[in-house]
Amino acid sequence: MQEQCCYNMNTSILCNTIANSLVKSCFINQLQRSLPALVLDLDDTLVYASPIRIKKSGTKKSLNTQSKSSESTESSQNVMNNNITSIEENNEENEIKSIRVGRRRIYIQFRPGLFEFIHAISNYFEIYFFTSSTFEYGNQIIDLIDPTIPSSRRLFRDSCKFICGYPVKDLSLINYPLSKVVLVDDTEGSALLNPNNLIRIDPWNGNLDDNVLLSELVPALTQIMLENDLLTAAHQLIGSGKYEHLFTSSF
């Protein structure tokens, strides 16, 4: 009888433990899904790639997260800025990486502020990468930027739809409510199917004086991330001309 009671007690404890774990897991999943999704392009948005060896620069510069025209909500701005510090030279960013695609070697340079941007924004957005490049090429670059991003949040050329021969990114593949999806891309045509979701950023060609990720994109995302109507807020903010290097779609 005593053994039976112990068995029942242990079974009850085990069931409660499993139940608590399931509840916790569901809560975490729900919390993560409540975050908006940020879909990031690679080439000329976050990185500059060249088959020719890129000359390494030792230029030092301070990265300031405050935009001259930023009037973001103070509380959300402070939360975001807690994850970013003013830095001088980021050795990881300034280091030129290389990857192999078939027999070719491609040299990769990171846009200034990229790693600080990813670190900060990942607390407030679910980050996806969507490139019109091939898996063999794009997957290696994503691994250089953030190897922790799961394969389910990496999309490549085979996920694009081709319109008049042009690769267009179909954001419905993100499996997220489109009202909570923001695409950051340097090419407007990439968002032809979902133009309202686009924040177009000036393309980057390796200029180390560029500071758009931290001085403009972070403050802009900070302002809209807590809004109920994310896309309307983005259009109003970016469309106001407040940021020199960020734009909404003209479609």
Please indicate, yes or no, whether residues 119 and 190 belong to a single structural domain of this protein.
yes
Please indicate, yes or no, whether residues 30 and 139 belong to a single structural domain of this protein.
no
Please indicate, yes or no, whether residues 63 and 118 belong to a single structural domain of this protein.
yes
Please indicate, yes or no, whether residues 172 and 183 belong to a single structural domain of this protein.
yes
Please indicate, yes or no, whether residues 12 and 134 belong to a single structural domain of this protein.
no
To which H or E segment does residue 25 belong?
helix 2-34
Distances (CA, A) of 236 to 7, 102, 156, 193: 63, 44, 30, 20
Please indicate, yes or no, whether residues 30 and 70 belong to a single structural domain of this protein.
no
Q: Which contacts of 228-231 are long-range, i.e. CB under 8 A and separated by 24 or more positions?
A: 229/179, 230/36, 230/179, 230/180, 230/182, 231/179, 231/182, 231/196, 231/197
pLDDT in single tens digits along all 251 residues of the chain? 555 555 455 555 545 554 454 444 444 444 445 899 999 999 999 999 999 988 765 444 433 444 344 444 454 455 455 554 433 344 566 689 999 999 999 999 999 999 999 999 999 999 999 999 999 999 999 999 999 999 999 999 999 999 999 999 999 999 999 999 999 999 999 999 999 999 999 999 999 999 999 999 999 999 999 899 999 999 999 999 999 999 999 87
The answer to whether the beta carbons of residues 202 and 217 sit under 8 Å apart is no
Please indicate, yes or no, whether residues 65 and 29 belong to a single structural domain of this protein.
no
Distance CA 73, CA 96 (A): 36
Backbone angles phi, psi at 157, to 5 degrees: -55, -35
Range of the domain at 16: 1-34
CA atoms within 13 A on the CB side of 115: 18
53 Cβ neighbours under 8 A, 6+ residues apart: 96, 107
Please indicate, yes or no, whether residues 23 and 61 belong to a single structural domain of this protein.
no
Please indicate, yes or no, whether residues 106 and 175 belong to a single structural domain of this protein.
yes
Please indicate, yes or no, whether residues 96 and 27 belong to a single structural domain of this protein.
no
Chain centroid to CA 6: 51
Give the predicted TM-score (pTM) of the model: 0.77
Q: Which CATH number goes with the domain that contains 191? A: 3.40.50.1000
Neighbours of 148 (CB within 10 A): 7
Please indicate, yes or no, whether residues 120 and 27 belong to a single structural domain of this protein.
no
Please indicate, yes or no, whether residues 22 and 122 belong to a single structural domain of this protein.
no
DSSP string, 84-116: ----S--HHHHSPEEEEETTEEEEEEEPTTHHH
The total number of structural domains in the chain stands at: 2
